[in-house]
Structures are given as C-alpha cells and as structure tokens.
Structure 1
Amino acid sequence: MVDSTQSGRSPRQLSLGIQLDDDATFENFFIAPDRANAQVIEVLTRQLSAAGEQTVFLWGGVGVGISHLLQAACHHAEVQGGSAQYLPLAELQAAEPAALLEGLESLDLVCLDDLQEVLGRADWERALFHFFNLMRDSGRRVLMGARNSPRQLPVALADLQSRLNWGLVYQVQPLDDDSKCAALQARASDLGLELSPEVARFILSRSARDSQKLFAALRLLDRVSLEEQRRLTIPFVKRVLGF
C-alpha cells in the first residue's frame, strides 16, 4: 500500500495510476532572457491565493511545456498544503467522463491537460460543462492546457465554449534554439552533469525539437553516464542516443 502523503500524490492520482513528474516544478521551467512566459509562472504561483485567478487556460504547440506547468502547479499546491489533481486527458479519453470528474470540486486545484483530445464529444462536453459549474460554485481553481486557444477548439456545446473563456488565457511561447541550449544546460546542472555549449548544440541539432523529448534524452544520458562514469562528450552522446 502506498502512503500518498509520503509519495506527494493524492489518493485520487494513485487510484487513476497517474504519477506526477518529480522534475516538473516551476523552478525547473526555463525562462528565456527575453522573459517570455515569466508572466505565466507568476499567475500560476499565485492561482491558489485569495487574489489568484479561479480559471487559467494555457495553450501552445507540442513541446512548449504545458504538461510541465500543469504538473508543476499540482506540486506547488501540495507544497502549500492544498489538494490537487492532474488529469492527462490524452491518456484518459476512453474513461467515462462523468465518473472521472465526479467529486473533483472538493479539491483546491484541478489541472486538465490536452483538452483538445476530448472536445467535440457530446458526453465529454456535457460532463465538462457540469464540472466547470461545480468548480465555480465551490470557489475551486481550474488550470487547463490545450494545443489551441479556446476560440480555436472544436467545441460543439456553446455554453461550454463560454466556460473555457471564463478566466485568463495565455499562449505559452516556444523557446528559440539558443534558449533551448541554455535550458538543456540548466537542467543538466540540476542533475549534477556538466554539459558544454558545444554538446548541448549537438544534441539540439540531432534530437527532436520539443523540450519534453530533449529533457527525456538528457535523463537517459544522466543514467548511462552515471553507470559508466563517463562525461558528456559528443562521441558518448552519439552512442547513447543513437545519432
């Protein structure tokens, strides 16, 4: 039996088989020198406060870090002593929506990821409409993430469309290549790895462009370098990542 207090995950998360990424924190979310996305972090860190927004909607392309931010918000809520639930709808779209969302209005924060995967389906839209009404009436917070803005999503239920636009809407901006290299180096430093600019650029030039896959590659390099007691050099990266 898992002790949900020690694991840092709510009983609901455990029952759904959902595990939050331990590395998904606001501190680990790289802010580019131009301060793009800095306002998003500020809004999310105060969402649970009395002055925070009840509803926040984040949207952006693949790999910009929306899943990271939603999971980071759950971690942040739990650190503050609150209750939170992260729901990756791309993985849960086959579930019965009314049953999945039942009782969540008792939590301080609910994070709905990949909303675009379930919209356009009558059962999901009815359940989400009911859920948003309950959350608003109970004064609880909702954080949503999707590939597109609320107005661009394929919503059939007009009343649900209005609910998606209730609060703040932010587009999460992608990092340029220089910022992605800097983000890789910062994450490597957090892992205790030394990643030179040259090797970071090499990884970026050969790997998938989105941040999630770049960081997954870095975790693999971390594990293998630890096992083999090797530094991160271009030949080592080539071998481990199959470039």
Structure 2
Amino acid sequence: MVERTKLKTDENALGGAIGQLVLPFAHTPRFAADDFVFSASNAAARSWLLGPTPWPDRRLALWGAAGTGKTHMLEIWAQMHDALLLQGPSLSHGHVAALFGAGGHAPVMAIVLDGADCCTDERALLHLLNTAREHGIALLMGGREPPARWPVVLPDLASRLRATMAVAIRQPGDGLLRVLLLRLLAERQIVVSQPVVEWLLRRLPRTALAMQEAVRRLDHAALADGGRVTRALATRALADMLVGTMMAEGKESEPEA
C-alpha cells in the first residue's frame, strides 16, 4: 500500500515514489483470553494467577523478558477481576493519592501495574503497595526482572519488594515460538508460505521478542515492496537477525515462495 504525493507532478518522479512510501498504520496487539497460548514456559504464572493459592499480602509480581506474554497475562487477569490497569512509567504520588481519595478507599478491589519496574516515582510505588495492603486490595505487578532486583533507593520500598511473591515467565519453547510466529503474521494479515515460515523458524533467534521484531519488519518491507513475503525479501529485511544465513545459502536450495 502506498501514498501518492501531491508535491511531484512529473509522471516519472511519481512512478519512482510508488513502492517506497508506506502509510504508518499502527498495529495494536490483541490481549483476549482466547488468544493466549498455554505452555510450560508460563505454567507457573498461570498456576498463581488462576489457582486457589492465596498471594502473600495479596500481592504478586510476574517477571520475564519482553515478549514472553506478561502484558497479555496481566490484561487477562485484569479483565477477570475488573481490576484497574495502571502503567508504571506514568505512576505518580498524586495519581495514587487521587485514586484512594480523601477517605483512603479506592473504588476497586484489584489493581494491575504493568511496567512496575519502570516506575520512577518510588514514593508513589511505596504508597500504592502500602495502601493496597492496608485495604486488602489485590495488586498484580509486571516487570522484566524480579522485584528484589529493581533498582530502588528507598529502603522501605526495597523491603516491600523483596517480600513480594515473584513468578517468572520463561522464554517459549520451539512449539510455542512456532504458534507465536504464525499468530503474529495472522494478526497483521501477512501471507507467508510454509517453506518460508520453516526457514524463518530455523534462523531467527529463539526468543518471543525476536519473533515480534521480525514480523514487524516483514510487514513494513512487504508494504514498501508491494509484493509477498519471499525468502529474498526476508533476507533483506532481517539481515542482522538471521542466524547462519550466509553459510546456509550456499548449501541449501530451498524454494523461494
């Protein structure tokens, strides 16, 4: 899909612009419960979120690398418990004070704080933890490291974080990576042949974040190129991500489609 420019009236110049300009449509990930993929890598987290075991102090932290499904699980739990969803980077002391109001009571019984390890207002986070515990409000947090490793300065906050139950979400195995790649392609409506999918799975880094970045690049490259995703296009778009591509090119004769 391309955008026609009004600044160039020369037919040849306009023809050169076609295939280079791409409309910047933002992609919004889906976090529906039906879209979540169960696997061994998130089994412990699922057990704590969905199981009967109570959380110590009604507080739990999910941690893991980017792309492993933390936000998806946080969103699902928030929907199940009608929880208030907050973002760590934007959390402030005034925000927390306004949430609990003059009477000190929040209008919710469950709170989710995504990106909690990116909260820069330590007093706000400490106030949230203390007040949630005081009023029996379930608090679920997400971050890339366990709370005990978050770089905080306030001693009281560090103590609360060390006492927080933390559950890891591991990197997905090969089966889940395959499902993830196919789902990401489908979300962006990118049609890729099975041989190219297998080729990508053999060469991309074995992380969820790599699959997300690869699909984002393929989407942009296919729009700019105006064609389908082939092995040649994938090689150009993902040159710095593919493992052993140059060596394999001389040894394999895989189909282009």
* 2:21 counterpart residue number: none
TM-score of the aligned structures, taking structure 1 as reference length: 0.63
Q: How does 1:78-89 map to 2 (within 5 A)?
A: 82-89=82-89
| Cα-Cα RMSD | 3.8
Partner-residue secondary structure (3-state), 1:106: coil
* 2:95 counterpart residue number: 100
Which structure has the larger Rg over C-alpha atoms?
2
Where structure 2 has 5 or more consecutive residues not aligned to the other structure, the ranges are 1-27, 101-105, 240-257
Judging changes above 3 Å, is the alpha-carbon distance between structure 1 residues 215 and 29 closer, same or farther for their aligned structure 2 residues? farther
Amino acid at match of 1:111: V
Judging changes above 3 Å, is the alpha-carbon distance between structure 1 residues 43 and 187 closer, same or farther for their aligned structure 2 residues? farther
Q: How many angstroms apart in 2 are the aligned matches of 1:23 and 1:156?
A: 36
Matched, 1:25 2:32: yes
Q: How does 1:57-206 map to 2 (within 5 A)?
A: 57-74=61-78, 76-77=79-80, 82-89=82-89, 92=90, 97-102=92-97, 103=99, 105-118=106-119, 124-188=121-185, 198-204=195-201
Q: How many angstroms apart in 2 are the aligned matches of 1:210 and 1:202?
A: 16
List per-residue Cα deviations over 1:60-108 (Å, max 9, x = no partner).
233323233323333x23xx6x24213142xx3xx6x202323164333
**Number of residue pairs aligned between Structure 1 and Structure 2:** 205
Q: How many angstroms apart in 2 are the aligned matches of 1:233 and 1:107?
A: 50
Where structure 1 has 5 or more consecutive residues not aligned to the other structure, the ranges are 1-20
TM-score of the aligned structures, taking structure 2 as reference length: 0.60
Amino acid at match of 1:71: E
Judging changes above 3 Å, is the alpha-carbon distance between structure 1 residues 140 and 126 closer, same or farther for their aligned structure 2 residues? same
List per-residue Cα deviations over 1:11-55 (Å, max 9, x = no partner).
xxxxxxxxxx551234433333xx231231243246xxx865321
Partner-residue secondary structure (3-state), 2:41: coil
Judging changes above 3 Å, is the alpha-carbon distance between structure 1 residues 219 and 44 closer, same or farther for their aligned structure 2 residues? farther
